[in-house]
Amino acid sequence: MSTDAGQAPANSAVARARTAQVAWAALSVADRVAKLRAACLHLLAHADELAKLIVHETRKPLAEAYSSEVLGVGDLFGYWCKHGPAQLAPRKGKIPALEMPGKKATVLRVPRGVVACISPWNYPVSLPMRTIVPALLGGNAVVLKPSEVTPQCGLWLVAKLQDVLGEVVQGLAGDGAAGAALVRAKPDLVVFTGSTQTGRKVAVACAELGIECALELGGKDCAVVLDDAELDRTAAGVAWGILTNAGQNCSGIERVAVHAAVAPVFLPKLVAAVQAAAGDVPELVTAQQRAVVTGHIADAVRRGAKVLTGGEPQGDQPTPPTLLADVPSDAPAWCDESFGPMAVVAVGKDDAALVALANDSRYGLGASVWSANADRAQAIAGQLRTGMVWINNHSFSGALPDLPWTGVGDSGTGVTNSPDALHHMTRPRLVVIDSNRAVEPWWYPYGDRMVALMQVLVARQQRNGIAATFRTLQALKARVAEMKQVNRD
Ligand code: NAD
């Protein structure tokens, strides 16, 4: 395992992965599935060890370590081993038999080669596994660069996968410099999950080297609470959306837009739900993140924001779950990702005002709409500028491998999970077989007959009428007869 941040370890990890990928890609999909199932069982046999490591590195409650990380491992393997082969199966391409007789097209899904997976610390197991499993199934090798904040979880995964799969999975420890070196080592695809700021640097580096990249970046999700929402359930759900993983969640609820008609009743319920959850909310993982959250709260309060509960952390006390109101719309607490156990509430007089509040963000990962009226909620959902919208829930779908996890704007437009992710980790390869022995009309020499044929085809497109189609068919039938004759000769 490489453990320093120089270029050589990155080069060597990519080179080893590239060598191993050749034999891995040569396996049938069924053989890869069998090996991935064995790797899954090996990981699950050590599930308790993994859960403890997650708690050690992230301070998550053990329940969350299992629910949001360990359990997902089995689900990921299960989903991809069952549904991935059909998504990788060759498909027949359509070739018009009359105009282009004797030809068959097949579109294969082939691996890209080496996929670099650069990961953050907030979900150090489930996030990289969302990339690793489909990438391997697609015939790629993977180099994982875990966050320097949670290196052990990532390197543990690599070691356990290597036990079963060998060198086709590689790990590269280190900080941002190691990540940058990994990109410079020229993998074939970089799947980056992390902050918007770092994602931009990765995108530039990839563009300069001509490497494809997928970016899953920060968020500033908004929960939109309508005046017909079931308020007790909504308060419980929104409180969870704000506080799960201590708010260190890319799609954590950081803004709550409440309909004015229910704000006086809903906000006290939300405050109570947030206060009641405090015992289950661990301290933030890094001092740096605590400083960001503290800064957002202090800035908002200095500008006149009202603290509904919580507030700036005191001394070495844990960061308290915090709700703020009357925050100016240009304050970092409203505009920037806080990534902590806090949210800003704002009140809107009608649905249009609530939509405007929710869309007032450069980020666009997720949003939720809380309402008893599914039609009204869906109408609002259709106006939200985000990659994902949940109605009467928030964010939980990240654990479901069939559902795309994706954003727009400063949240990046990469996709993890779902067939879209597998499609991005593989490339289409077209194979066409031509059994027609006649010379094609579009080959040299161009004569009058080819011009006439093309004019007939254009006329069909222009008019798309019965007469044109009839003439086209006549011309094409004559052409087919001619070709058949050539093929017989
Ligand atoms: P980060 O951007 O600081 O680091 C992410 C990874 O990038 C780390 O492994 C880091 O070492 C590496 N890195 C840093 N500089 C690099 C460079 N120049 N080139 C290549 N790699 C480099 O992010 P973080 O603090 O670890 O994670 C938190 C962020 O991740 C939050 O913004 C959160 O919203 C985001 N996130 C997004 C999603 C999503 O699916 N959209 C999921 C989880 C986290």
Model confidence pLDDT, tens digit, residues 363-391: 999 999 999 999 999 999 999 999 999 99
Taking every pair of Cα atoms in the chain, the longest distance, rounded to a whole number of angstroms, is 93
Asked whether residue 135 is assigned to any structural domain, the reply reads yes
Q: Summarize the confidence of residues 2-16 as an average pLDDT.
A: 83
216 catalytic, yes or no? yes
Asked whether residue 2 is assigned to any structural domain, the reply reads no
Q: Summarize the confidence of residues 134-142 as an average pLDDT.
A: 98
pLDDT of residue 411 exceeding 90? yes
pLDDT of residue 327 exceeding 60? yes
Asked whether residue 405 is assigned to any structural domain, the reply reads no
How many domains is the chain partitioned into structurally?
3
164 shares a domain with 254: no
Q: What is the CATH number of the domain that holds 321?
A: 3.40.309.10
Could you tell me if 361 and 352 are in contact, meaning their C-beta atoms sit under 8 angstroms apart?
no
Could you tell me if 435 and 102 are in contact, meaning their C-beta atoms sit under 8 angstroms apart?
yes
CA of 337 from ligand 1 middle (Å) equals 13
Residue from 40, 206, 213, 250 carrying the catalytic annotation: 250
Q: Judging by DSSP bridges, how do beta strands 141-145 and 169-171 pair with one another? A: parallel
Which pLDDT does position 2 carry in this prediction? Answer: 44
157 shares a domain with 248: no
81 vs 483, higher pLDDT: 81
Sign of the CA dihedral with 425 first, then 422, 166, and 180 last: positive
Torsion of CA 415, 418, 420, 425, to 10 degrees: 80
Averaged pLDDT of the chain: 94
| Residue whose CA lies nearest to ligand 1 atom number 16 | 176
267 shares a domain with 376: yes
Alpha-carbon span 141 to 21, nearest angstrom: 5
Residues with CB under 6 A from ligand 1: 118-122, 127, 145, 147-148, 175-176, 179-180, 183, 193-195, 198, 201-202, 216-219, 250, 337, 339, 365, 405, 407, 411
CA of 194 from ligand 1 middle (Å) equals 2
Asked whether residue 408 is assigned to any structural domain, the reply reads no
Q: What is the CATH number of the domain that holds 151?
A: 3.40.605.10
Which pLDDT does position 472 carry in this prediction? Answer: 65
DSSP characters for 91-143? EEEP--TTTSTTEEEEEEEEE-SEEEEE--SSSTTHHHHHHHHHHHHTT-EEE
Top mutation candidate among 14, 57, 118, 196 for ligand 1, by most atoms within 8 Å of CB: 118
CA of 76 from ligand 1 middle (Å) equals 22
Alpha-carbon span 483 to 465, nearest angstrom: 27
Cα(first)–Cα(last) distance of the chain, in Å? 65
276 shares a domain with 226: yes
CA of 260 from ligand 1 middle (Å) equals 37
Q: CA-CA distances (angstroms) from residue 372 to 235, 266, 359, 395, 469?
A: 14, 15, 22, 19, 53
Q: Output the pTM of the full model.
A: 0.92
Which secondary structure element, helix H or strand E, spans residue 322, and what is its range?
A: strand 322-325
270 shares a domain with 171: no
> Residue 212: which domain range?
7-217+418-429
Cβ neighbourhood burial of 302 (10 Å; 0-12, 13-18, 19+):
exposed
Q: Can you tell me which atom of ligand 1 is nearest the CA of 147?
A: 9
Name the amino acid, one letter, at 158.
Answer: V
Residue from 57, 69, 216, 337 carrying the catalytic annotation: 216
CA of 150 from ligand 1 middle (Å) equals 12
250 catalytic, yes or no? yes
172 shares a domain with 89: yes
Sign of the CA dihedral with 26 first, then 27, 32, and 33 last: positive
Q: Can you tell me which atom of ligand 1 is nearest the CA of 197?
A: 2
290 shares a domain with 168: no
Asked whether residue 412 is assigned to any structural domain, the reply reads no
Q: CA-CA distances (angstroms) from residue 366 to 115, 224, 361, 404?
A: 26, 11, 11, 12
CA of 277 from ligand 1 middle (Å) equals 27
| Residue 390: strand, helix, or coil | strand
Which pLDDT does position 345 carry in this prediction? Answer: 98
Task: Report percent pLDDT > 90 for the chain.
Answer: 84
Q: Judging by DSSP bridges, how do beta strands 189-193 and 212-216 pair with one another? A: parallel
Could you tell me if 220 and 252 are in contact, meaning their C-beta atoms sit under 8 angstroms apart?
no
Asked whether residue 166 is assigned to any structural domain, the reply reads yes
DSSP characters for 233-280? HHHHHHHHHHHGGGG--TT-EEEEEEETTTHHHHHHHHHHHHHHHGGG
Which pLDDT does position 215 carry in this prediction? Answer: 98
pLDDT of residue 139 exceeding 90? yes
Asked whether residue 247 is assigned to any structural domain, the reply reads yes
170 shares a domain with 184: yes
Alpha-carbon span 134 to 149, nearest angstrom: 25
105 shares a domain with 175: yes
158 shares a domain with 32: yes
ω into residue 120 within 30 of 0, thus cis?
A: no
pLDDT of residue 467 exceeding 80? no
310 shares a domain with 264: yes
| Residue whose CA lies nearest to ligand 1 atom number 35 | 194
Top mutation candidate among 3, 145, 147, 201 for ligand 1, by most atoms within 8 Å of CB: 147
Q: Which residues pair with 215 in a beta bridge?
A: 192
Q: Summarize the confidence of residues 455-464 as an average pLDDT.
A: 80
226 shares a domain with 212: no
Asked whether residue 120 is assigned to any structural domain, the reply reads yes
Q: Can you tell me which atom of ligand 1 is nearest the CA of 201?
A: 18
pLDDT of residue 80 exceeding 60? yes
The model's confidence at residue 432, banded by pLDDT at 50, 70 and 90, is very high
